[in-house]
Structure 1
Amino acid sequence: MTMARGRPDKRGAETRTAKPRPRLSILGVLGELLITAGVVVLLFLGWQVWLGNLMSSGAQAVEARALSRSWSEGGPARPAASTERRDPGPPPVQTAPDDAAQFANMIVPRFGTDYTRPVAQGINADVLRAGVGHYPGTQMPGEVGNAAFAAHRTGNGSPFFDIEKLQVGDSIYIEMAAGWYRYVFRSLEYVPASGVGVLDPVPQAAGVIPTDRLLTLTSCNPVFTASERIIMYSLYDTWYPRADGPPPEIALLMQPGTVG
């Protein structure tokens, strides 16, 4: 026995009527395009800040190690590094090079066991894009006075990204053709972006005759901004002639085969 069908419910039929599809508006399309463009820009910035920065950092390290090899090749065989060494005497002072010329490497163990970056004369955009720059008019490494350097904290390889991690007693080595100059970190300060007194032969003491050999590192602060500068001061300790081999602290970095 079948059940009798009831009369159709008009209200139900009305509720089942298909709703009209919304029409695309110019504003809606424009909004979607802007969102997509924003995502693309963010991805590009992420690549530039992270991957591009990583590639620049690696290239700078390779350049620095190639420069180091060029100073060592053709010279006398270096003895194994030893904690016992002769008095090297006063450090030789190299003449200031031409603008943009690479003349040194900076090695900072606190920044990593493989940290080394090339140093060139000048602080213009091209120099700082390639590594660390030496302020023209300041003293050269090993010279009495203030040898001052600058580098980016973010972007272009970020050579000084970890600058605030330096601790009292940390070594900073400047490698040049003659050998390695060791400075020991002593103190820091923060100054306005216009605070050029940190570049004086005696920092923040214009007109005072220097008696010490100082090294000053400068970079932007805080990270990702340039509203002020972070300044790190180090004092000369000694130097290691190239003929005697590298300092024990960085001997592994200087060994052939450790270069990328």
Structure 2
Amino acid sequence: MRIGKWVLAFSSLIAGAALIFYPIVQSQKIDAKQSELLNTLAAQRKESNSALDAIFQNGPPVDSSVTAETATSSAIAQLTIPGIEANMPVVNGASLEDMKYAAGRMKGTAPIGSVGNAAVAAHRSFTEGQFFNRLDEVKDGDQVIVQTADETYIYIVEQTTRVLPNDVSVLEPSGESSELTLITCDPMINPTHRLIVKAKLAEKPTSDALSDDANGGTQ
């Protein structure tokens, strides 16, 4: 009888420890994967800059049909929202698998930086500051900086709304402008709606400003 109680107490202790440490381990795993994706993107930026230098010196290569977006096999961009200290990689696709470690550009929407509506979705996450955890704190006028392998885009937030999950009208472009739509679940627990943040392309930042914002938004 005494042994049975000891086994039960030990099992309860192990279960309690698992509940405590599982979120920590998961958060560390996500942080490590995000760093890997961002480091890969940084290497791609370096390669892209070297390729541009070669083009300026020697002219374009014979086959220049591969774009920066189609050439990337992992992260296609880095998305930073300085106002909420958010910083994450962006991949092509918004499936559950795609969004385990990154935000996902929804297929069928415009490429980032082009005319049209580029939609990027991410989990709300229960970890403070991770993914779109604090997206509801974004205000009109806030910057959203998206840096691809060879371009940097600054979007200015214009509107925040909440819609039902089946409302796909938020993916449609409005006119000839370059738009960015950020999408996540709302509320964080038992979500019934989607939180939508709309932004429009403003201007390209200076390298110094980008560096300061990126450093400030690092998790």
TM-score, L = length of structure 2 = 0.74
Q: Which residue of the partner structure matches residue 82 of structure 2?
A: 109
CA contact (8 A) 1:135 1:150 kept: yes
| Cα distance in 1, alignment partners of residues 152 and 91 from structure 2 | 16
CA contact (8 A) 1:146 1:216 kept: yes
| Cα distance in 2, alignment partners of residues 136 and 239 from structure 1 | 24
What is the 5 A alignment of 1:103-252? 103-112=76-85, 115-154=86-125, 158-202=130-174, 210-240=175-205, 246=207, 248-252=208-212
CA contact (8 A) 2:93 2:105 kept: yes
Name which one, 1 or 2, has greater alpha-carbon Rg: 1
Offset at 1:197? Answer: 1.7
| Cα distance in 1, alignment partners of residues 28 and 201 from structure 2 | 31
Q: Deviations over 1:145-181 (max 9, x none)?
A: 1100011111699311111111221111111122210
| Cα distance in 1, alignment partners of residues 117 and 23 from structure 2 | 32
- Structure with a larger share of its residues in helix: 2
Offset at 1:132? Answer: 0.8
User: What is the aligned residue count?
Assistant: 199
What CA RMSD, in Å, does the superposition of the two structures yield over aligned residues?
Answer: 3.4
CA contact (8 A) 2:80 2:146 kept: yes
> Is there any run of 5+ residues in structure 1 with no aligned partner, and where?
1-23, 77-93, 203-209
TM-score, L = length of structure 1 = 0.64
Offset at 1:192? Answer: 1.5
Offset at 1:137? Answer: 0.4
Q: 1:212 to 1:170 in 2, by over 3 A?
A: same
CA contact (8 A) 2:141 2:158 kept: yes
Offset at 1:65? Answer: 3.9
| Percent identity between the two aligned chains | 22
